[in-house]
Amino acid sequence: MIARSSAAEESAAWRKALRDAYREPASLLDDLGLASSDFDLDPAPRFPFRVTREYAARMVHGDARDPLLRQVLPLAQEGEEHAGFDGDPVGEHARLGDDSLLVKYSGRALLVLTGACAIHCRYCFRREFPYADTTGQRRLGRALERLAADSAVEEVILSGGDPLVLDDGPLFALVEALEAIPHLRRLRLHSRLPVVLPARLGPALLARLAAGRLATVLVIHANHANELDEATLAALRAARAAGLTLLNQSVLLAGVNDSADALAALSTRLFEAGVLPYYLHQLDPVRGTAHFAVDDGRASALVDDLRARLPGYLVPRLVREVAGAPAKLPLP
Protein backbone atom coordinates (compact mmCIF):
# COMPACT_ATOMS: atom_id res chain seq x y z
CA MET A 1 0.00 0.00 0.00
CA ILE A 2 1.40 3.36 -1.02
CA ALA A 3 0.33 6.35 1.05
CA ARG A 4 -1.41 8.92 -1.11
CA SER A 5 0.79 11.79 -0.01
CA SER A 6 4.02 9.97 -0.89
CA ALA A 7 2.64 9.02 -4.32
CA ALA A 8 1.80 12.70 -4.87
CA GLU A 9 5.29 13.76 -3.78
CA GLU A 10 6.81 11.15 -6.03
CA SER A 11 4.86 12.47 -8.99
CA ALA A 12 5.69 16.09 -8.18
CA ALA A 13 9.40 15.23 -8.07
CA TRP A 14 9.64 13.59 -11.48
CA ARG A 15 7.39 16.20 -13.07
CA LYS A 16 9.72 18.88 -11.75
CA ALA A 17 12.72 17.00 -13.20
CA LEU A 18 10.91 16.96 -16.57
CA ARG A 19 10.37 20.72 -16.41
CA ASP A 20 13.97 21.33 -15.39
CA ALA A 21 15.40 19.61 -18.48
CA TYR A 22 17.90 21.49 -20.62
CA ARG A 23 16.25 23.14 -23.61
CA GLU A 24 19.26 24.94 -25.10
CA PRO A 25 22.46 23.24 -26.27
CA ALA A 26 24.49 26.23 -25.06
CA SER A 27 23.42 25.79 -21.42
CA LEU A 28 24.22 22.06 -21.46
CA LEU A 29 27.59 22.66 -23.14
CA ASP A 30 28.36 25.38 -20.65
CA ASP A 31 27.76 23.03 -17.73
CA LEU A 32 29.99 20.43 -19.41
CA GLY A 33 32.84 22.90 -19.79
CA LEU A 34 32.47 22.91 -23.57
CA ALA A 35 31.83 25.73 -26.04
CA SER A 36 29.25 25.84 -28.83
CA SER A 37 32.13 26.74 -31.14
CA ASP A 38 33.63 23.26 -30.49
CA PHE A 39 30.79 21.87 -32.62
CA ASP A 40 29.11 22.50 -35.94
CA LEU A 41 25.65 22.93 -34.44
CA ASP A 42 22.37 23.17 -36.31
CA PRO A 43 21.26 26.78 -35.69
CA ALA A 44 17.56 25.95 -36.15
CA PRO A 45 16.95 22.24 -35.59
CA ARG A 46 13.61 20.93 -36.88
CA PHE A 47 13.48 18.46 -34.01
CA PRO A 48 13.77 20.31 -30.69
CA PHE A 49 16.58 19.90 -28.18
CA ARG A 50 15.76 18.44 -24.77
CA VAL A 51 17.88 16.61 -22.18
CA THR A 52 17.17 15.79 -18.53
CA ARG A 53 19.71 16.96 -15.98
CA GLU A 54 19.95 13.40 -14.66
CA TYR A 55 21.08 12.19 -18.07
CA ALA A 56 23.46 15.10 -18.63
CA ALA A 57 25.12 14.37 -15.27
CA ARG A 58 26.43 11.09 -16.74
CA MET A 59 28.28 12.85 -19.55
CA VAL A 60 32.02 13.23 -19.12
CA HIS A 61 32.94 16.82 -18.32
CA GLY A 62 35.01 18.42 -21.06
CA ASP A 63 34.63 15.53 -23.52
CA ALA A 64 33.32 16.80 -26.87
CA ARG A 65 33.06 13.20 -28.10
CA ASP A 66 31.06 11.90 -25.18
CA PRO A 67 28.73 9.14 -26.44
CA LEU A 68 25.74 10.46 -24.47
CA LEU A 69 26.26 14.01 -25.67
CA ARG A 70 26.38 12.80 -29.27
CA GLN A 71 22.92 11.28 -28.88
CA VAL A 72 21.33 14.61 -28.03
CA LEU A 73 23.32 17.38 -29.70
CA PRO A 74 21.71 18.79 -32.89
CA LEU A 75 24.52 18.96 -35.43
CA ALA A 76 24.39 20.87 -38.71
CA GLN A 77 24.66 17.48 -40.45
CA GLU A 78 20.98 16.98 -39.62
CA GLY A 79 20.14 19.44 -42.37
CA GLU A 80 21.80 17.33 -45.08
CA GLU A 81 19.63 15.32 -47.45
CA HIS A 82 20.67 11.73 -48.13
CA ALA A 83 19.15 9.25 -50.56
CA GLY A 84 16.90 6.77 -48.76
CA PHE A 85 16.44 8.96 -45.68
CA ASP A 86 12.96 10.43 -45.38
CA GLY A 87 10.23 11.41 -42.91
CA ASP A 88 8.61 7.97 -42.61
CA PRO A 89 11.46 5.43 -42.56
CA VAL A 90 9.48 2.35 -41.55
CA GLY A 91 6.21 3.00 -43.37
CA GLU A 92 4.13 3.84 -40.30
CA HIS A 93 2.25 6.89 -41.48
CA ALA A 94 0.26 5.04 -44.11
CA ARG A 95 -0.83 2.42 -41.56
CA LEU A 96 -2.38 4.97 -39.23
CA GLY A 97 -6.13 5.15 -39.07
CA ASP A 98 -8.20 7.64 -37.13
CA ASP A 99 -7.08 6.35 -33.75
CA SER A 100 -3.90 5.77 -31.71
CA LEU A 101 -3.33 2.18 -32.72
CA LEU A 102 -0.60 0.79 -34.97
CA VAL A 103 -0.99 -2.87 -35.88
CA LYS A 104 1.87 -4.30 -37.90
CA TYR A 105 2.59 -7.67 -36.36
CA SER A 106 0.50 -10.67 -35.47
CA GLY A 107 -0.89 -10.72 -31.93
CA ARG A 108 0.59 -7.37 -30.94
CA ALA A 109 -0.81 -3.87 -31.19
CA LEU A 110 0.98 -0.64 -30.39
CA LEU A 111 -0.61 2.46 -28.88
CA VAL A 112 0.98 5.81 -29.68
CA LEU A 113 -0.05 7.68 -26.53
CA THR A 114 1.84 10.95 -26.67
CA GLY A 115 4.45 12.80 -28.68
CA ALA A 116 6.19 13.97 -25.50
CA CYS A 117 9.54 12.64 -24.28
CA ALA A 118 11.90 13.52 -21.45
CA ILE A 119 14.82 13.64 -23.84
CA HIS A 120 15.06 14.12 -27.58
CA CYS A 121 17.31 11.55 -29.21
CA ARG A 122 18.65 12.88 -32.47
CA TYR A 123 18.36 9.50 -34.21
CA CYS A 124 14.70 9.00 -33.23
CA PHE A 125 12.79 7.23 -36.01
CA ARG A 126 9.61 9.11 -35.06
CA ARG A 127 11.17 12.56 -35.48
CA GLU A 128 8.54 13.44 -38.08
CA PHE A 129 5.69 11.30 -36.78
CA PRO A 130 2.24 12.95 -37.04
CA TYR A 131 1.50 12.76 -33.31
CA ALA A 132 -1.24 15.39 -33.57
CA ASP A 133 -3.27 12.95 -35.67
CA THR A 134 -2.85 9.94 -33.37
CA THR A 135 -2.99 11.11 -29.78
CA GLY A 136 -5.75 12.45 -27.54
CA GLN A 137 -8.65 10.98 -25.59
CA ARG A 138 -11.05 10.48 -28.51
CA ARG A 139 -8.49 8.62 -30.59
CA LEU A 140 -7.47 6.53 -27.59
CA GLY A 141 -11.13 5.68 -26.98
CA ARG A 142 -11.50 4.49 -30.57
CA ALA A 143 -8.27 2.48 -30.26
CA LEU A 144 -9.62 0.73 -27.17
CA GLU A 145 -12.82 -0.14 -29.05
CA ARG A 146 -10.76 -1.56 -31.90
CA LEU A 147 -8.67 -3.59 -29.44
CA ALA A 148 -11.75 -4.94 -27.70
CA ALA A 149 -13.15 -6.06 -31.04
CA ASP A 150 -10.00 -7.84 -32.21
CA SER A 151 -9.56 -11.07 -30.28
CA ALA A 152 -6.33 -11.87 -32.18
CA VAL A 153 -4.46 -9.26 -30.15
CA GLU A 154 -2.84 -10.72 -27.01
CA GLU A 155 -0.32 -8.00 -26.26
CA VAL A 156 -0.61 -4.24 -26.11
CA ILE A 157 2.50 -2.09 -26.37
CA LEU A 158 2.42 1.39 -24.88
CA SER A 159 4.60 3.68 -26.94
CA GLY A 160 4.95 7.26 -28.08
CA GLY A 161 6.85 9.49 -27.61
CA ASP A 162 7.32 8.11 -24.15
CA PRO A 163 4.29 6.54 -22.44
CA LEU A 164 5.76 7.10 -18.96
CA VAL A 165 5.55 10.86 -19.49
CA LEU A 166 1.84 10.35 -18.81
CA ASP A 167 0.77 10.98 -15.23
CA ASP A 168 -0.24 8.05 -13.06
CA GLY A 169 -3.93 9.04 -13.29
CA PRO A 170 -4.39 8.64 -17.05
CA LEU A 171 -1.84 5.83 -17.22
CA PHE A 172 -3.54 3.74 -14.54
CA ALA A 173 -6.95 4.40 -16.09
CA LEU A 174 -5.62 3.09 -19.39
CA VAL A 175 -4.13 -0.02 -17.76
CA GLU A 176 -7.48 -0.67 -16.10
CA ALA A 177 -9.29 -0.34 -19.42
CA LEU A 178 -6.84 -2.78 -21.01
CA GLU A 179 -7.25 -5.25 -18.15
CA ALA A 180 -10.97 -5.27 -18.84
CA ILE A 181 -10.40 -6.60 -22.38
CA PRO A 182 -10.50 -10.36 -21.79
CA HIS A 183 -8.34 -11.54 -24.70
CA LEU A 184 -5.34 -9.39 -23.69
CA ARG A 185 -2.63 -11.28 -21.81
CA ARG A 186 0.43 -9.07 -21.87
CA LEU A 187 1.20 -5.40 -21.45
CA ARG A 188 4.45 -3.98 -22.70
CA LEU A 189 5.84 -0.49 -22.12
CA HIS A 190 8.59 0.92 -24.26
CA SER A 191 10.19 3.79 -22.37
CA ARG A 192 13.41 5.74 -22.07
CA LEU A 193 12.40 7.27 -18.73
CA PRO A 194 13.88 4.50 -16.54
CA VAL A 195 17.22 5.62 -17.98
CA VAL A 196 16.86 9.36 -18.44
CA LEU A 197 14.58 10.04 -15.45
CA PRO A 198 14.77 7.02 -13.12
CA ALA A 199 12.64 8.71 -10.44
CA ARG A 200 9.65 7.95 -12.70
CA LEU A 201 9.94 4.26 -11.73
CA GLY A 202 8.70 4.98 -8.20
CA PRO A 203 6.82 2.64 -5.86
CA ALA A 204 3.35 3.83 -6.97
CA LEU A 205 3.95 2.98 -10.62
CA LEU A 206 5.69 -0.30 -9.88
CA ALA A 207 2.99 -1.38 -7.45
CA ARG A 208 0.26 -0.69 -10.00
CA LEU A 209 1.99 -2.49 -12.84
CA ALA A 210 2.93 -5.45 -10.67
CA ALA A 211 -0.59 -5.81 -9.26
CA GLY A 212 -2.26 -5.82 -12.65
CA ARG A 213 -3.90 -8.76 -14.40
CA LEU A 214 -1.62 -8.52 -17.43
CA ALA A 215 1.92 -9.90 -17.38
CA THR A 216 4.03 -6.79 -17.76
CA VAL A 217 7.20 -6.27 -19.74
CA LEU A 218 9.19 -3.07 -19.52
CA VAL A 219 11.48 -2.48 -22.49
CA ILE A 220 13.96 0.25 -21.64
CA HIS A 221 16.15 2.05 -24.12
CA ALA A 222 19.86 2.47 -23.41
CA ASN A 223 22.60 2.66 -26.01
CA HIS A 224 25.73 2.95 -23.88
CA ALA A 225 26.88 1.63 -20.49
CA ASN A 226 27.52 5.19 -19.26
CA GLU A 227 23.76 5.79 -19.41
CA LEU A 228 23.24 3.33 -16.57
CA ASP A 229 24.24 5.10 -13.38
CA GLU A 230 23.53 3.92 -9.82
CA ALA A 231 20.13 5.66 -9.65
CA THR A 232 19.01 3.90 -12.83
CA LEU A 233 20.36 0.55 -11.65
CA ALA A 234 18.49 0.91 -8.35
CA ALA A 235 15.23 1.83 -10.12
CA LEU A 236 15.57 -1.15 -12.45
CA ARG A 237 16.32 -3.55 -9.62
CA ALA A 238 13.18 -2.33 -7.86
CA ALA A 239 11.18 -2.93 -11.04
CA ARG A 240 12.55 -6.43 -11.29
CA ALA A 241 11.86 -7.12 -7.61
CA ALA A 242 8.27 -5.98 -8.23
CA GLY A 243 7.93 -8.72 -10.83
CA LEU A 244 8.31 -6.94 -14.16
CA THR A 245 10.21 -8.56 -17.00
CA LEU A 246 12.95 -6.16 -18.09
CA LEU A 247 14.46 -5.93 -21.56
CA ASN A 248 16.56 -3.34 -23.34
CA GLN A 249 16.61 -2.16 -26.89
CA SER A 250 19.40 -0.12 -28.43
CA VAL A 251 20.07 1.52 -31.73
CA LEU A 252 23.47 0.93 -33.32
CA LEU A 253 24.90 4.45 -33.66
CA ALA A 254 28.15 5.57 -35.24
CA GLY A 255 30.27 7.43 -32.71
CA VAL A 256 28.15 6.19 -29.79
CA ASN A 257 28.22 2.40 -29.50
CA ASP A 258 29.70 1.07 -32.75
CA SER A 259 32.44 -0.97 -31.09
CA ALA A 260 32.39 -4.43 -29.57
CA ASP A 261 33.84 -2.98 -26.36
CA ALA A 262 30.98 -0.50 -26.00
CA LEU A 263 28.32 -3.10 -26.77
CA ALA A 264 29.84 -5.68 -24.41
CA ALA A 265 30.05 -3.11 -21.60
CA LEU A 266 26.41 -2.19 -22.19
CA SER A 267 25.18 -5.79 -22.03
CA THR A 268 27.21 -6.49 -18.91
CA ARG A 269 25.93 -3.37 -17.17
CA LEU A 270 22.33 -4.10 -18.15
CA PHE A 271 22.61 -7.54 -16.62
CA GLU A 272 23.80 -6.02 -13.35
CA ALA A 273 20.49 -4.19 -13.30
CA GLY A 274 18.50 -7.34 -14.07
CA VAL A 275 17.85 -6.35 -17.69
CA LEU A 276 18.45 -8.60 -20.69
CA PRO A 277 19.45 -7.16 -24.07
CA TYR A 278 16.63 -7.62 -26.56
CA TYR A 279 17.16 -5.81 -29.86
CA LEU A 280 20.06 -3.94 -31.36
CA HIS A 281 18.37 -1.97 -34.15
CA GLN A 282 19.99 -0.95 -37.33
CA LEU A 283 19.24 2.77 -37.70
CA ASP A 284 15.86 3.52 -39.26
CA PRO A 285 16.71 5.91 -42.08
CA VAL A 286 14.83 8.98 -40.95
CA ARG A 287 15.81 12.32 -42.46
CA GLY A 288 18.61 14.07 -40.57
CA THR A 289 20.28 10.97 -39.09
CA ALA A 290 22.62 9.66 -41.81
CA HIS A 291 25.69 10.56 -39.72
CA PHE A 292 24.67 7.82 -37.26
CA ALA A 293 24.50 5.03 -39.85
CA VAL A 294 26.69 1.92 -39.57
CA ASP A 295 26.76 -0.32 -42.63
CA ASP A 296 25.30 -3.82 -42.39
CA GLY A 297 28.63 -5.60 -42.85
CA ARG A 298 30.22 -3.79 -39.91
CA ALA A 299 27.08 -4.22 -37.82
CA SER A 300 27.08 -8.00 -38.31
CA ALA A 301 30.82 -8.19 -37.63
CA LEU A 302 30.35 -6.30 -34.36
CA VAL A 303 27.66 -8.71 -33.20
CA ASP A 304 29.83 -11.69 -34.22
CA ASP A 305 32.54 -10.24 -32.05
CA LEU A 306 30.08 -9.88 -29.15
CA ARG A 307 28.97 -13.47 -29.60
CA ALA A 308 32.56 -14.60 -29.25
CA ARG A 309 32.92 -12.68 -25.97
CA LEU A 310 29.68 -12.97 -24.08
CA PRO A 311 27.18 -15.61 -23.01
CA GLY A 312 24.44 -15.97 -25.61
CA TYR A 313 21.82 -14.33 -23.40
CA LEU A 314 23.85 -11.09 -23.35
CA VAL A 315 23.98 -10.79 -27.14
CA PRO A 316 21.12 -8.65 -28.50
CA ARG A 317 19.39 -9.60 -31.76
CA LEU A 318 20.58 -7.36 -34.56
CA VAL A 319 17.46 -6.38 -36.51
CA ARG A 320 16.16 -3.96 -39.05
CA GLU A 321 12.59 -2.80 -39.42
CA VAL A 322 11.39 -3.06 -43.01
CA ALA A 323 8.06 -1.58 -44.09
CA GLY A 324 5.57 -4.35 -44.80
CA ALA A 325 7.65 -7.19 -43.25
CA PRO A 326 5.86 -9.56 -40.82
CA ALA A 327 8.45 -8.95 -38.05
CA LYS A 328 11.62 -7.04 -37.33
CA LEU A 329 14.09 -8.73 -39.67
CA PRO A 330 17.26 -10.33 -38.30
CA LEU A 331 20.56 -9.44 -39.97
CA PRO A 332 22.90 -12.36 -40.62
First to last CA, the chain: 48
List of residues contacting ligand SF4 (CB under 6 A): 117, 119-121, 124, 126, 160-162, 192
Name which of 39 and 105 has its Cβ closer to ligand PLP. 105
Q: Using CB under 6 A, which of the segments 13-21, 105-113, 197-205, 252-260 binds ligand PLP? A: 105-113
66 binds, among ligand SF4, ligand PLP, none (CB under 5 to 8 A by kind): none
Name which of 126 and 188 has its Cβ closer to ligand SF4. 126
Residue 151 C-beta: closest distance to ligand PLP, Å = 18
Burial class (CB in 10 A: 0-12, 13-18, 19+), 70: buried
Name which of 41 and 119 has its Cβ closer to ligand SF4. 119
328 binds, among ligand SF4, ligand PLP, none (CB under 5 to 8 A by kind): ligand PLP
108 binds, among ligand SF4, ligand PLP, none (CB under 5 to 8 A by kind): ligand PLP
DSSP string, 3-50: -HHHHHHHHHHHHHHHHTSB--HHHHHHHTT--GGGS-B-SS-SS---
Binds ligand PLP (CB under 6 A): choice among 39, 85, 105, 131: 105
Residue 131 in the binding site for ligand PLP (CB under 6 A): no
Residue 179 C-beta: closest distance to ligand SF4, Å = 25
Contact in structure between 68 and 224 (CB atoms under 8 Å): yes
Closest by CA position to 204, among listed 15, 18, 5: 5
Name which of 104 and 139 has its Cβ closer to ligand PLP. 104
Question: In the chain, helix, strand, coil percent, each to 5?
Answer: 40, 15, 45
Contact in structure between 209 and 175 (CB atoms under 8 Å): yes
68 binds, among ligand PLP, ligand SF4, none (CB under 5 to 8 A by kind): none
Distance CA 136, CA 146 (A): 15
Please state the φ and ψ torsions of residue 279, each to the nearest 5 degrees: -115, 145
Distance CA 251, CA 278 (A): 11
Binds ligand PLP (CB under 6 A): choice among 50, 58, 70, 104: 104
Residue 158 in the binding site for ligand PLP (CB under 6 A): no
- The one-letter amino acid at 147: L
Distance CA 46, CA 289 (A): 12
Residue 156 in the binding site for ligand PLP (CB under 6 A): no
Binds ligand PLP (CB under 6 A): choice among 21, 29, 68, 110: 110
Binds ligand PLP (CB under 6 A): choice among 41, 102, 118, 178: 102
Sheet harboring 317-320: ordered strands across?
Answer: 101-102, 108-112, 155-159, 186-191, 215-221, 245-251, 276-281, 317-320, 329-330
157 binds, among ligand PLP, ligand SF4, none (CB under 5 to 8 A by kind): ligand PLP
Q: Using CB under 6 A, which of the segments 23-31, 98-106, 199-207, 259-267 binds ligand PLP? A: 98-106
Q: How does 291-300 read in b/e, with b if 16+ C-beta sit within 10 Å?
A: bbbbeeeebe
- The one-letter amino acid at 107: G
Residue 128 C-beta: closest distance to ligand PLP, Å = 16
102 binds, among ligand PLP, ligand SF4, none (CB under 5 to 8 A by kind): ligand PLP
Residue 221 in the binding site for ligand PLP (CB under 6 A): no
Closest by CA position to 122, among listed 291, 279, 320: 291
Contact in structure between 150 and 120 (CB atoms under 8 Å): no
Residue 271 C-beta: closest distance to ligand SF4, Å = 22
Residues that bind ligand PLP (CB under 6 A): 102, 104-105, 108, 110, 157, 327-328
